[in-house]
Amino acid sequence: MPEQSSPLDLPEGDPFGPHNLPYGVFSTPGHPEDRRVGVRIGNHVLDAGAAAHALGSPYAGLLAQPTLRPLLAAGRTAWSDVRRALTAWVTVPGHRADIEPLLHPVDTVTLHLPYEVADYVDFYASEHHATNVGQMFRPDGDALTPNWKHLPIGYHGRSGTVVVSGTDVVRPSGQRKAPTDPAPVFGPSVKLDIEAEVGFVVGVPSAHGTPVPLADFREHVFGLSLLNDWSARDLQAWEYVPLGPFLGKSFATSVSAWVTPLEALDAARTAPPARDVPLLPYLDDSGEEEHGGFDIRITVEINGQVVSEPPFATMYWTAAQQLAHMTVNGASLRTGDLYGSGTVSGPETAQRGSLLELTWNGRDPLELPEGKRTFLEDGDTVTLTAWAPGPHGTRVGLGDVTGRIVTAP
Ligand SMILES: O=C(O)/C=C/C(=O)CC(=O)CC(=O)O
Ligand SMILES: [Ca+2]
Ligand SMILES: [Mg+2]
């Protein structure tokens, strides 16, 4: 008889190898109420709390939990210690007998939103995206607003409608009025769009009144997920001047089920694009030791068809600058805060992170096998996937965030 292969014997180069180890929260079909912290390894999920108990680990208190919150709040030293322990559990042969029974095939479990989202903020940090949108919406003026290169523009979103990958998205209804319409009308959005983004997850809170400097990014931010900031362009266009996005973006924001710790992305750190305007000291990262960018390659699929490949490395503003900016007035961070990078669009047409840009506000429809697409139709499924360079030529898989559009009630 051939030896039974172990789920821990991963093919070389598996994007979910021991160099990755993203965290999530799962339940098994027999026990839907029993949520547990899981760590992905290959195509399996390790019940991390059960593993900690089985191995007599001091981290059972952080891992034998129904949410990531205790681990998020534990801070950078604990994050490293737990990651080192997990790496040993899945790689040291002597642990196999204890670990293997605690592995669940990932396609047999239900993945949940892994932490309660505290505050949700979304930025506007891709120069290519902002330029495209500016050209479409403000054709008579400069594409970038005068503040754009001086501060990372953002808005506060709705944390209660952040949903985990796989959750259906109900087409939102609301008011819209095109400039040529005599009066606003109410009804389901006819310009439902996506925004391909990366979401950063805050672990350690900050004191109210005390800004978080650029250099403290890693003390507060635990990791990242993929994020789709669903956007109803027709609702947005009518409502958002002068106070910004409101109902056009608050109906749903989808995140991937896996949170990849920043430590897994050390090999993906990259210098952001050169800044062509001098920055105020609290945003000036030219003297920072670590590169602030991340080389993350995103793919956008509609109904299984690749429509775009946005490169995160091209983002003008970094996550560290966004954190420094959102706290510079003394606003505090809480465990579970989530902030979106802003739509990721590269310089090429096939690198745009929204249908608004890909179709130039509906003027140039995409040709999909099932027909032309300007904005999303009911039944469409949008999936973002991504990977980043890992150590020694490996890839770090960032999983996927997917959602299907269902008809407005
Ligand atoms: O500039 C505008 O008029 C519109 C901007 C947006 O729709 C916000 C946005 O795309 C934020 C993001 O980058 O995700
Ligand atoms: Ca957005
Ligand atoms: Mg949103």
Residue 246 beta carbon below 6 angstroms from any ligand 1 atom: no
Sign of CA dihedral 243, 247, 248, 252: positive
Counting atoms of ligand 1 from 1, which one is nearest the CA of 236?
Answer: 7
How confident is the model at residue 4, as a pLDDT?
Answer: 64
Q: What ligand is nearest to the CA atom of residue 130?
A: 1
> Cα of 212 to ligand 3 centre, how many Å?
25
Cα(71)–Cα(79) distance, rounded to whole angstroms? 7
Q: Model pTM greater than 0.90?
A: yes
397: closest CA among 263, 249, 253, 260?
260
| Sheet arrangement for strand 31-41 | 103-105, 44-47, 31-41, 23-28, 110-112
Cα(274)–Cα(320) distance, rounded to whole angstroms? 16
How confident is the model at residue 1, as a pLDDT?
Answer: 47
How confident is the model at residue 5, as a pLDDT?
Answer: 85
Is-contact 378 393, C-beta < 8 A? no
Token reading at 192: 């439902």
| Rg of the chain taking only CA atoms, in angstroms | 21
Is-contact 298 386, C-beta < 8 A? yes
Counting atoms of ligand 1 from 1, which one is nearest the CA of 354?
Answer: 10
Counting atoms of ligand 1 from 1, which one is nearest the CA of 197?
Answer: 14
311: closest CA among 329, 294, 287?
294
Strand partners, 255: 164, 227
How confident is the model at residue 320, as a pLDDT?
Answer: 98
Strand partners, 301: 306, 383
Quickly tell me which residue has 């505090």 as its tokens.
Answer: 332
CA neighbours within 13 Å on the CB side: how many for 250? 15
Residue 191 beta carbon below 6 angstroms from any ligand 1 atom: no
Cα(232)–Cα(399) distance, rounded to whole angstroms? 25
Is-contact 82 61, C-beta < 8 A? no
Q: What is the pLDDT along the chain (409 residues), one digit of tens a residue?
A: 455 689 999 999 999 999 999 999 999 999 999 999 999 999 999 999 999 999 999 999 999 999 999 999 999 999 999 999 999 999 999 999 999 999 999 999 999 999 999 999 999 999 999 999 999 999 999 999 999 999 999 999 999 999 999 999 999 999 999 999 999 999 999 999 999 999 999 999 999 999 999 999 999 999 999 999 999 999 999 999 999 999 999 999 999 999 999 999 999 999 999 998 999 999 999 989 899 999 999 999 999 999 999 999 999 999 999 999 999 999 999 999 999 999 999 999 999 999 999 999 999 999 999 999 999 999 999 999 999 999 999 999 999 999 999 999 9
Beta-sheet pairing, 395-406 with 169-170: parallel
Token reading at 293: 């960018």
The three state secondary structure string of 363-391 is CCCEEECCEEECCCCCCCEEEEEEEEECH
State the catalytic residues: 129
Residues comprising the binding site?
122, 124, 138, 195, 197, 229, 236, 240, 249, 253, 343
Cα(209)–Cα(353) distance, rounded to whole angstroms? 35
**Cα dihedral 315→252→214→312 (10° resolution):** -20
ipTM of the complex: 0.90
Residue 229 beta carbon below 6 angstroms from any ligand 1 atom: yes
How confident is the model at residue 172, as a pLDDT?
Answer: 98
Cα(332)–Cα(205) distance, rounded to whole angstroms? 7
Cα(39)–Cα(48) distance, rounded to whole angstroms? 6
